A and B are shown apart, each in its own frame.
Chain A
Amino acid sequence: METRVDCEYIRGLLADFSEDNLLGRAARRARDHVAACEACADELKTFEATADLVREKGLREPPVGLWNAVYNRITDPARAPSVARPAAGLRLRLRIGAAIAALSLVILFGLSYVRRPQPPSVANAVAAEYVEGHAVGSRDGLFADRFSLTSVAALAEAEQRENGRL
């Protein structure tokens, strides 16, 4: 026989019972009571029916024109993308930094080449001969010509290696 005290106690647990939040003894007691008490079983059904009603009627229609607003934003040529990217000033500084670093590497490489002259590869003999000849003809531009030769030779060798792999 279920008592009124039991019913009051169980009804205080029904919200948690309906969400499956009760454990151990409390869960057992609620389950047993609801199985035996029609009034509390009916009360439990209202918790379930509430969730059903929310699922059935809870969705709202999005506002009209949402796509137009999104479209205007994603196709606006002047806009900055919303995802995190370096700011314009930072991007410019990064680019300048990268250019300086690349130039430094090339100059260092060029200097070491001047200090320890090495014959260019056979494949670049024609270019080398031209540049060497030109360098002799214009002594002031020797460094510039060495610099060019180094770059040309490095690029050509890289290309050859790439072709060799293919």
Chain B
Amino acid sequence: MSGGRVVEYVDVDLVRRTKTGDVEAFEQLFNRYQKRVYNIVYGMIGNENDAAELAQDVFVRVFDSIATLRAEEAFFTWVRTVAINVCRDHVRRRVPFRVESLDEKMSYDGEDIIREIADPAVGPERLSEQKETERAVHRAIDSLSGEHRTVVVLHHLEGMDVQDIAKALGCPTGTVKSRLARAREELRRKLAGYVES
């Protein structure tokens, strides 16, 4: 039996128990997928406070509507769609200009809010090399426009293919591919010091 099948089997059991109102079963589903959900939401929204709030909304909505899920073996695919839709609704409602932090300079490129993250005061000598690289990657992803960050997270972190991303975001596959290329160009530039050629 493949790993994927085991995951599906466990999910199906937990989903069925959750449908009967079993909160402990739902907690197990939450533990299995909270990191992926949080990263999708963070990637699409780009700030911690909203991401935490929206990740909650995703799980509450999943709990409330789990009775409508027929394809129980595709639980996470369904959760991911819920997460993407919650974020898209949020982005549609969002006021474009908003000050989030005094440390972060905000700019607007006509479509997206671009966050210019200040470099941390703590230098590499005080952080392990691993941690520093991780922070650099996070900063580089944060600095992308919302549209570019979204496709990077869905494709590179979530492993979604271009067609599925296009479908989920309601845009042509060519747009997704072009955003991925531009985002990769930008990330490469920003992470040049961390990438071994």
Contacts and interface: CB of A to CB of B under 8 A. Distances in A.
Contacts, number: 120
- What interface size band does chain A fall in? 35 or more
A69 B34 CA distance: 13
Secondary structure at chain B's binding surface: helix, strand, loop or mixed?
helix
B59 A70 contact: yes
Nearest to A18: B184
Given A55-B156, A60-B42, 6 more contacts: A16-B181, A42-B197, A49-B196, A53-B133, A66-B38, A70-B56
Interface stretch (B25-33, B97-105, B116-124): B25-33
Given A61-B35, A63-B48, A67-B30, A73 B197 contact: no
B16 interface: no
Interface stretch (B3-11, B61-69, B70-78): B61-69
B160 interface: no
B63 A74 contact: yes
- What interface size band does chain B fall in? 35 or more
Given A47-B184, A49-B195, A51-B156, A71 B56 contact: no
A91 to B, nearest CB: 16
B196 to A, nearest CB: 6
B153 interface: yes
Contact of A54 (B30, B141, B181): B141
A21 B57 CA distance: 36
A128 B156 CA distance: 76
B90 interface: no
Contact of B30 (A16, A58, A70, A82): A70
A118 interface: no
Interface string A92-120: 00000000000000000000000000000
Interface in A29-61: 42-43, 45-47, 49-51, 53-55, 57-61
A19 B26 CA distance: 38
Given A15-B181, A83-B65, A53 B52 contact: no
